[in-house]
Amino acid sequence: MRRLARVFSALTFLVLVAAVAVFLWDRTAPVTPPPLAPLAGQIDRILIEKSARRLTVYRDDEALRSYRIALGFAPEGDKVQEGDGKTPEGRFTITRRNPQSAYHLSLGIDYPQAEDRAQARAAGVSPGGDIFIHGQPNGLGRIGAIPYDWTAGCIAVSDAEIEELWRITPNGTRVDIQP
């Protein structure tokens, strides 16, 4: 009889713990925001604020939408050389598009520029290159955006966001990257 009472007590305790866990999970689980209305037309400027981890798109100096971003794995400071994990700072331009990217679409910026190459040459290093605004690694987009700085120096957004940026960002769009 005592054994049966102990088993019953243990089962009651487990059910209670499970109920509390479900209650807490429901209250703390992230809420998926409703989808935003698609942006119409094209943009003429992108502002990337590294310290805020924010990318904002503009048309005629009007901010249209902002996105959370991930940066290079060592994001503080300007990119100096290949492999430093930094995202470059300065004024750039979207110069190319890669629909076959390893990162679910990518928009390339014109880094390194002449001054970046000259500084790297003077230091005896490579300035690096292939800096893009891109989505998540192919095959991982279903889990959403990686929530920490993980790129080699690029700017990463979610797959849904790069699809929108791809649609509204023409080659020639100005990109300002601020510390």
Asked, for residue 37, whether it belongs to a domain, the answer is: no
The answer to the question of residue 10 being in a domain is: yes
User: Tens digits of per-residue pLDDT, 61-81?
Assistant: 999 999 999 999 999 999 999
Model's pTM, two decimal places? 0.78
Judgement on whether residues 80 and 12 belong to the same structural domain of the protein: no
Residues 82 and 60 in one domain: yes
Residue 90 included in any domain:
yes
CA-based nearest residue to 111, from 75, 69, 141, 80: 80
Q: Mean pLDDT for the chain?
A: 87
At 84-114, the pLDDT tens digits run 999 999 999 999 999 999 999 999 999 999 9
Is 90 found in the same domain as 24?
no
Averaged pLDDT, 40-69 = 97
Residue carrying the six token digits 């088993």: 7
Range of the domain at 141: 45-178
- Residue 170 forms part of a structural domain: yes
Q: How far apart are CA 84 and CA 86, in angstroms?
A: 6
Instruction: Count structural domains, the chain.
Output: 2
122-155: per-residue pLDDT in tens?
999 999 999 999 999 998 877 778 889 999 999 9
Segment 36-41 shows an average pLDDT of: 85
Q: Does 135 lie in the same domain as 103?
A: yes
Q: Is the same domain home to 123 and 52?
A: yes
Q: Are residues 22 and 50 in the same domain?
A: no
Residues 6+ apart with CB under 8 A from 159: 104, 105, 135, 136, 141
Dihedrals phi, psi of 146, to nearest 5 degrees: -70, 125
